[in-house]
Structure 1
């Protein structure tokens, strides 16, 4: 994969002591508030930040909303109106400042805000920050602040049917095919007062640009400020001391909110260290010092801090994530962690699988949302692309909503108005450092030529592709699109029994129970999982209902892992092939990473953080270099894919096994080193279960082993009961699990129940008699607890 480095800069902000930033006062209003429902029958304490559902649960008024059918039983909560209130006092120096703002970082969603009985304004967008000027309203004591929230269900329904898209709120909170319906309300981000005499900095961003003609890096810094009065000829100095770069500017801050930009040109004699995506280099950063003086007062500073890593993604050898358009813009910490770990982010705007209005008020709200989010996020080098929406071009092009032909031009016009004339226009003005895609999937420039809505947005010749097929054999690589970029694909599975046990009763734990049906929000999803599994495996048939249920969960996870493995490996080996104008696949993002409740979904991480078998598989199929085997017209091929930046010279080792024996029937070593160019996929072997790996010149294995089954395992002959035994021992902060098997065992699955943590490897093909796996606990445990909790399941155990 071709990648480019970027210059990553942090910010050190400096203000003045004369009543500007440094002497401005801030008072957090987070903490315990009061919460009241519409008719006053419920009055309780509520934590801010938070939401109504969490407050009701914390006060014992409702149970776990995720337990059994509580998502239905608690629908009344979203149908009520609720009011948050708090009382606070202030000291005189705070009130004496020239300007005092009441700031809500996030209100979910439709509300009226009042202070001391005076209405300050209304809110209607979950993704916006709201500022209210309150200087003349504040008192020294007993200030009463109220936020009256309107039911998001009634608000949206009053505007149209179907109505979810008519409110600027997290779209999946009204349910999706992998999640429950909990249309939340609340103060979901912080609330504070800020007072200042001269100027308040609202947002600071720094974007790096490269002038290829001058061979020079530039840092474009932008300040969004609120000035009490116009400030002329303010001296600002930008500097990166490590790069021996400094530049001074005179700027003007006009009264009210305004934005100023200025540029620091990096010294061409300095050696710049670039930020690289994970797997391609390091992630260094530089501090940009922004210093300024008002009335020649003393300068002080504030320095931002961050965390260490995004472990769950990095541990699975992923280097990219997509923030999907049906959720929320992530918190700053998420992007900071991605910056630090080199995880690239595909950032959607929050529009998904629907047609949206273009009335003036809606557009105005969206424009403010987009401006705020781009200004907040554009400093992060981890964000590699903006995307206007999820699947809305495809929805129009392929007529998801049965729009009459005569009406379609109207909907296309609205689509262009929202995403092109407004969102795209704002993004291109606010951030010139990264590309903007109007939709996903899209044909990109081809869609633009066709008036922004292509005849076939899924055309693999262009742009990115989403691909799902639940009825065809998911291991048949010939059915996959040879696309430029696979930005969405996947298959469902059920979470583990230990995860489901938290929200179910014993009677619920049957595949045909009312609970299992209720938790499945994808049409025919439970049946589709079994139908797919039946193509490849014998389905569990134990007469013990509990065992049959747990075996079925296991089979769905095996099938999901195999399905996504096959498709991911196809996309990876297609990165160097162009066949009939299709191929050169330069990205594979499977759907989806995480769950939001305990239910079947496309995720590889269960609610609570437990890894599914798919996530363990991803460690291998996303490894930096990997041998991939497949059949084509009765011939066996092995490709080696490499995402490394250097060339490798490795040999192949191929082993043919009989299921009933540990010793390979045949071993084939290609001792002639094969050149594997970095960033490529190379066909290295042509020639019935086989394993294969790569070796260096000394015969040492490099990278993971892989395998290929030449028949569905339901037809395989000679798979014997492995009777695996396990012994647990303590090894430093981790635990070692020594496994011994009597036979080759496919899909060996280790589970320690409710003990949180992860294994070094899981769901693997055990083709040696002995192997050792490590377990990394997420809480204190011991050998006795792990030994008693540990279960080992293989494919042969469920038949």
Structure 2
């Protein structure tokens, strides 16, 4: 029997004969009628670019969320120009790579449209080999208003409504956020203002190669209890410009383990799976959560050759740990257990929910992340839930969690809504989920995937007053999106950790009830979210005795030092 484990974090990825040209830095930003034109950093967004140029005040100040609504209602264009070396231009394949576009855009390279984007959470690349010039090259990214795009998408879905249309009036937010694949809380939430960001929120570059290029790389260990042996599953997602035979060398020198595999790289994009058996004579040091042990790692090296020519060379950290979600009968008690075993040891999770650290992601720098995550450790937390209304966090977030022993409950980015299930929506979600699982599954800190935030509960308890006669349509859509798509992708991509369709959920019991339980808040099953603004929440007896409480508490004022810079004395 194999029990699931982890993993690998990429240190550096490159193909020996490949050439890369970074396009980050100072671009030009303008609005639709040209009345605004300012320098803008990339990565970045329109709000922070305008603030840096003193075109607007701090968006957080007083009621600026309302004063600056015009920003998200306008269309914006980012533009830059650059020269390309002869060394890059002569390569067989040149790709224009966007690690993150927020959100709906048309890409123009030297005046030619090379592609479109519609998903903040996806990496995009476009072939531009035939468009490169000797001399100045011009790149434009034309972004449409996310608010107007979401409105148009909702109107195009005319067969039945997909609630909710708008957030509660008190939030003063924007409508139809469930029709656009971007940070759901950017249109407003009960804890934060409406800032529907627009921009190039992650890096941009040109990648050029002749034979092949490594797109994504991941690894995860599995432990065989019967043989007492670890094996490391290594996955390479490769773009090959031609079919070629070669060999791949895997090496974990600290564990005396290495393997050479003859392989054939076929033209196009393909995922290749390799196995490295770990030397049974070596002691494998395990990764443990904060408070239960240390977080040791090993270094994995991968090299790919065609004859004696080095085609690719990458390295990573590799961590070893097992994770199990235990849902079983507890003696004569009703319900099922719901707890995690790490390396065979039951571990009590104690922590917080993590929402985006800033409304503007380009302001979340390494010092901000490290301070917040260290604060969690200092407060004796060992777990964080990356909440499904925000973003899949940047690589450094998970790196630090690995380092500090913070376990991560990872939601997919769907929250408090029903969602459309047309083919184009499912297609972009499919690519989003595939990319994010491949990017993140190497991290030992992530111990569980969850398909959405509160959507099973919203459907089961009828948040949106759906008539009983129409409920089967929404249940069908729910199962199609989260079970037949998100769940199936995760199970195929990652056999190393458990998957839950929603949070809260009754877990195994919800599955038995057709994926939507009668009462997803049942304290005898799964996880529970609990809020009560009318009860005394300082009294611990107010809270239900759950199997697992993954979200609870009550909102409060931030510290005065936080409020003072964004308010005036009359507000106090």
Question: If the length of structure 1 is used for normalisation, what is the TM-score?
Answer: 0.61
Cα drift, residue 301 of structure 1: 4.9
Cα drift, residue 476 of structure 1: 3.7
After superposition, the Cα gap between the structure-2 partners of 1:76 and 1:271, relative to the gap in structure 1 and judged at 3 Å, is same
Deviations 1:184-235 (A, max 9, x none): 1000001100101111101110011111121111100000011011122x11
1:84 equivalenced with 2:78 (yes/no) = yes
Deviations 1:275-301 (A, max 9, x none): 111111111111112122123125885
SS in 1 for 2:131: coil
1:116 equivalenced with 2:118 (yes/no) = no
Partner of 2:535: 472
Q: Which of 495-504 and 92-101 deviates more? A: 495-504
The correspondence of residues 41-440 of structure 1 with structure 2, limited to 5 A, is: 41-160=35-154, 161-162=165-166, 163-232=176-245, 234-297=246-309, 301=313, 303=315, 310-440=373-503
User: Matched residues in 2 for 1:293 and 1:253: separation?
Assistant: 11
Cα drift, residue 6 of structure 1: 5.3
User: Matched residues in 2 for 1:146 and 1:417: separation?
Assistant: 37
User: Matched residues in 1 for 2:12 and 2:188: separation?
Assistant: 41
1:505 equivalenced with 2:546 (yes/no) = no
Partner of 2:504: 441
After superposition, the Cα gap between the structure-2 partners of 1:344 and 1:465, relative to the gap in structure 1 and judged at 3 Å, is same
Asked whether the equivalents of residues 9 and 399 of structure 2 are also in contact (C-alpha less than 8 Å), the reply is no
Cα drift, residue 497 of structure 1: 2.0
Partner of 1:29: 23
User: Matched residues in 1 for 2:541 and 2:60: separation?
Assistant: 40
Cα drift, residue 475 of structure 1: 3.5
Asked whether the equivalents of residues 304 and 313 of structure 2 are also in contact (C-alpha less than 8 Å), the reply is no
Asked whether the equivalents of residues 7 and 208 of structure 1 are also in contact (C-alpha less than 8 Å), the reply is yes
User: Matched residues in 2 for 1:189 and 1:104: separation?
Assistant: 7
User: Matched residues in 2 for 1:263 and 1:127: separation?
Assistant: 29
Partner of 2:555: 492
User: Matched residues in 2 for 1:478 and 1:11: separation?
Assistant: 46
Structure 2 portions without partners, runs of 5+: 155-164, 167-175, 319-365
Asked whether the equivalents of residues 461 and 484 of structure 1 are also in contact (C-alpha less than 8 Å), the reply is yes
Cα drift, residue 496 of structure 1: 2.1
SS in 1 for 2:472: helix
User: Matched residues in 2 for 1:118 and 1:372: separation?
Assistant: 27
Larger Rg: 1
SS in 2 for 1:155: helix
Cα drift, residue 140 of structure 1: 1.5
User: Matched residues in 2 for 1:73 and 1:13: separation?
Assistant: 44
Q: Which of 382-391 and 140-149 deviates more? A: 140-149
After superposition, the Cα gap between the structure-2 partners of 1:499 and 1:223, relative to the gap in structure 1 and judged at 3 Å, is same
Q: Post-superposition, which runs of at least 4 consecutive aligned residues in structure 1 deviate over 4 A?
A: 4-15, 298-309
Asked whether the equivalents of residues 98 and 204 of structure 2 are also in contact (C-alpha less than 8 Å), the reply is yes
**One of 25, 30, 39 as aligned partner of 2:33:** 39
Cα drift, residue 472 of structure 1: 1.6
User: Matched residues in 2 for 1:66 and 1:319: separation?
Assistant: 31
Question: If the length of structure 2 is used for normalisation, what is the TM-score?
Answer: 0.85
SS in 2 for 1:407: helix
How many corresponding residue pairs? 500
Cα drift, residue 77 of structure 1: 0.6
After superposition, the Cα gap between the structure-2 partners of 1:363 and 1:312, relative to the gap in structure 1 and judged at 3 Å, is same
